[in-house]
Amino acid sequence: MVTYSQQVEQLAPLEQAVFQNSFVEELHGEASMDKTPRQVPGYHYSRVEPTAVQAPQLLAWSEDLAAYLGLERPSERGPAVDMLAGNQLAPSMKPFAARYGGHQFGSWAGQLGDGRAISLGELTATDGTNWEIQLKGAGPTPYSRRADGRAVLRSSLREFLCSEAMHYLGVPTTRALSLVATGDEVVRDMFYNGNARPEPGAIVARVAPTFVRFGNFQLMAAMGELDNMRALADYVIRHHYPELGAPSPAVYVRWFEEICRRTAVMIAHWMSVGFVHGVMNTDNMSILGLTIDYGPYGWLEPYDPDWTPNTTDFGSRRYAFGQQPQVALWNLYQLARALAHLVETPQDLQQGLETYRTTLAQTRHTMLLQKLGLTSLALEEDRALVEELLEALAGSEIDMTLFFRQLSHTAPSLLLNAENEDATWRELLAKAAYSMSMEEEQTLVQWLQRYLQRLRQESASPEAIRESMLRVNPKYVLRNYLAQKAIEAAEAGDLAFLNTLMEVLKTPFAEQPEHEELAAKRPDWAREKPGCATLSCSS
Ligand code: AMP
Ligand code: MG
């Protein structure tokens, strides 16, 4: 057995790592290295190198992910950080930008592609699996259209922190290895209202088995590039779904069904922790069912299905919290329309959409029951109980995370001693509510009373119920205002709060009493503040 210290000794500097290039070598690429924005028909990707930045400096490093990849922590400046900023390439790297399209806000947008993300290649992790390393904000590519290929510190820090926080919550997600300041300024008009200003630039090194999206297939279908589409499907299946066997029309059908299943599991997780992606365009849907492309995302504070942080979406609220299950299904349907060209009987793909519906319904229900400490005894009554809770929460201003976390402590205690049941419930609600009318309180207290009756039917001990609830109801999530505080401090050169958040969010289900304030209700000042309550796509 390899001990931890032996493993640490085996960690190597990034600049010595050897990269694989399966995407580049097995697929069809345009080799010109030309960065001029253009249409790239007929190709899966374009070879392109990152554009160097002024003064790369490491701001954050994901220790556990790095150890898993066999990488040692680099110093603040030096060859590894130069690589993470795109200023230096390893001889084994063959960097590329992928070509994809997508539906944006329901409309077909044609070719999009990696306009600012450049993949360096794949690293083999300590368990032998391969992981693509991609720099987001590494400069122009043929897919940059009219934009600059860069990313600002605020959006990069948000992506870095949230992808790791999601991972530690157990949500399927792409990962983030490093956050590097570029030393360059990037001009952005944060709310598209004529107030453009220079902001510090940054680059995140993202990590995933692959960054292929629904939109890669959609674009090739739209352009009639069926051989290319088949080649990409075969690549994804061979590398990432090997359990399905050698690609064939019948395997494509089973593959689509598996994509649907994984997407359902991902959405169930989002709904369970209160995550709102914010821009669920089909180019932001991973073919592996991972949360991808963290932009104007947010976390529910008051439980509100209609909430979205994305100002671009305030009119139609297409991507609001409660819409996410439906939108993912719509997106899967668009993917099915593309894959229909590869199968013998397109109707067979219907089964996948059905699997999405049933997997999502079952997984969501199971997760909600777990959040309530219930095991499935009386299915029908439990469904009604759960539905009524969600309705009551939506009808009041109760913090979702706090409610379930408090419940995990309070409900098992009341099982042991229900003497002051009503007062105890009112106390819980007061802790979790931003505001509450008498009627709202009454509705919730009545629900809680019925819930306690139901909980009494469980055979597990109150202590076991408490433990099971604490394992699924996080105490710490990346509340919108916490990310904003970390950004403001980092922009002023202070990384202490970012480091604290990284550490605390690694064990979101642990009490960590010394960090109680990070589990508190959103403060009043953050209610309407830009960056906390409202975000735009400008990043
Ligand atoms: P997003 O909404 O961030 O998923 O981006 C949609 C598309 O716009 C993708 O093709 C991105 O690569 C591209 N894009 C976004 N921001 C930039 C930028 N600053 N420079 C170049 N391309 C960008
Ligand atoms: Mg995107």
Residue closest by Cα to atom 11 of ligand 1: 115
Spatial distance between the Cα atoms of 406 and 422, rounded to a whole number of angstroms? 15
Ligand with an atom nearest the CA of residue 112 = 1
**CA nearest ligand 1 atom 22, residue:** 115
Q: Tell me the average pLDDT across 182-186.
A: 98
- Name the token pair of 388: 């009524």
pLDDT band at 10 (very low <50, low <70, confident <90, very high): confident
Q: What pLDDT shows up at residue 169?
A: 98
Q: What is the pLDDT of residue 237?
A: 98
Phi (first) and psi of residue 400, to 5 degrees: -65, -50
Q: How confident is the model at residue 190 (pLDDT cuts 50, 70, 90)?
A: confident
Q: Which residues contact 364 (CB under 8 A, 6 or more apart)?
A: 268, 271, 272, 325
Q: How high is the pLDDT of residue 7? A: 55
> pLDDT value at position 8?
55
Report DSSP state, residue 147: S
Q: Is the pLDDT of residue 377 over 80?
A: no
| Helical (H) or strand (E) element with 17 | none
Q: How confident is the model at residue 2 (pLDDT cuts 50, 70, 90)?
A: low
Q: How far apart are CA 170 and CA 436, in angstroms?
A: 32
Q: How far is the CA of 395 from the centre of ligand 2 (A)?
A: 33
The ligand 1 atom nearest the CA atom of 150: 19
Alpha-carbon distance of 267 to 271, in angstroms, equals: 6
Smallest CA-to-CA distance from 125 within 41, 53, 209, 243 is with 209
Q: Which ligand is nearest to the CA of 285?
A: 2
Q: Tell which residue, 45, 52, 33, has the closest CA to residue 139.
A: 52
Instruction: Kindly give the number of the ligand 1 atom that is closest to the alpha carbon of 293.
Output: 4
283 noted as active-site residue:
yes
Residue 380 confidence (pLDDT) = 85
310-314, 379-383, 385-389, 503-507: which range is least confident on average?
379-383
Closest atom of ligand 1 relative to the 112 alpha carbon = 10
Q: What residue ranges line ligand 1, CB within 6 angstroms?
A: 112-116, 143-144, 147-150, 279, 283-284, 293, 295, 537
The DSSP secondary-structure symbol of 535 reads: B
Q: For residue 184, what is the DSSP state?
A: E
Q: In angstroms, what is the span from residue 115 Cα to ligand 1's centroid?
A: 5
Q: What is the pLDDT of residues 12-47, one digit of tens each?
A: 999 999 999 999 999 999 999 999 999 999 999 999
Which candidate in 114, 234, 283, 304 is catalytic? 283
Residue 74 confidence (pLDDT): 98
User: 311 CA distance to ligand 1 centroid (A)?
Assistant: 17
Beta bridge partners of 131: 123
Residue nearest to atom 6 of ligand 1 (CA): 112
Cβ atoms of 470 and 401 closer than 8 Å: no
Q: 42-89 pLDDT, tens per residue?
A: 999 999 999 999 999 999 999 999 999 999 999 999 999 999 999 999
For ligand 1, atom 23, the nearest C-alpha belongs to 115
Residue 6 has what pLDDT? 54
Other CB atoms within 10 A of residue 238 CB = 14
- The answer to whether residue 445 scores a pLDDT higher than 60 is yes
Pairwise CA distance, residues 484 & 486, whole Å: 5
Is residue 16 packed enough to be buried (19+ CB in 10 Å), middle (13-18) or exposed (0-12)?
exposed
User: Which ligand neighbours the alpha carbon of 295 most closely?
Assistant: 1
The best mutation among 46, 143, 214, 536 to test binding of ligand 1, ranked by most ligand atoms within 8 Å of the C-beta, falls on: 143
Mean pLDDT on 388-394: 97
Tell me, in angstroms, the distance from the centre of ligand 1 to residue 539's CA.
Answer: 9
Specify the residue for token string 């139901």.
454
Q: What is the pLDDT of residues 475-497, one digit of tens each?
A: 999 999 999 999 999 999 999 99
Ligand 1: residue whose CA is nearest its atom 7: 112
Q: How confident is the model at residue 191 (pLDDT cuts 50, 70, 90)?
A: confident
Mean pLDDT for 110-137 is 98
The rounded percent of the chain whose pLDDT value lies above 70 is 98
Helix (H) or strand (E) holding 130: strand 130-136
Tell me, what's the pLDDT at 464?
Answer: 98
Give the H or E element holding residue 128.
none
Task: Report the nearest atom of ligand 1 relative to the CA of 149.
Answer: 20
What is the number of the ligand 1 atom nearest to the C-alpha of 141?
Answer: 21
Mutate to test the pocket of ligand 1, among 36, 51, 116, 283 (most ligand atoms within 8 A of CB): 116
Q: Is the Cβ–Cβ distance between 126 and 68 less than 8 Å?
A: yes
User: What is d(CA 183, CA 53) in angstroms, rounded to the nearest whole number?
Assistant: 7
What are the extents of the domains in the chain?
Answer: 4-211, 215-369, 378-470, 480-526
Could you tell me the distance, in angstroms and rounded to a whole number, from the CA of residue 105 to the centre of ligand 1?
A: 14
* Residues 476, 511: Cα–Cα separation, whole Å: 9
pTM over 0.85: yes
Q: Of the ligands numbered here, which is closest to the C-alpha atom of 117?
A: 1
Cα within 13 Å of Cα(311), Cβ side: 15
Question: Torsion angle, CA of 9/15/18/24, rounded to 10 degrees?
Answer: 150
Q: State yes or no: pLDDT of 378 exceeds 80.
A: no
Q: Of how many residues is the chain composed?
A: 539
| 3-state SS, one letter per residue, for 253-300 | HHHHHHHHHHHHHHHHHHHHHCEECCCCCHHHCECCCCECCCCCCEEC
Please tell me the predicted confidence (pLDDT) of residue 73: 98
What's the CA-to-centroid distance between 450 and ligand 1, angstroms?
49
Is the confidence at residue 147, as pLDDT, over 80?
Answer: yes
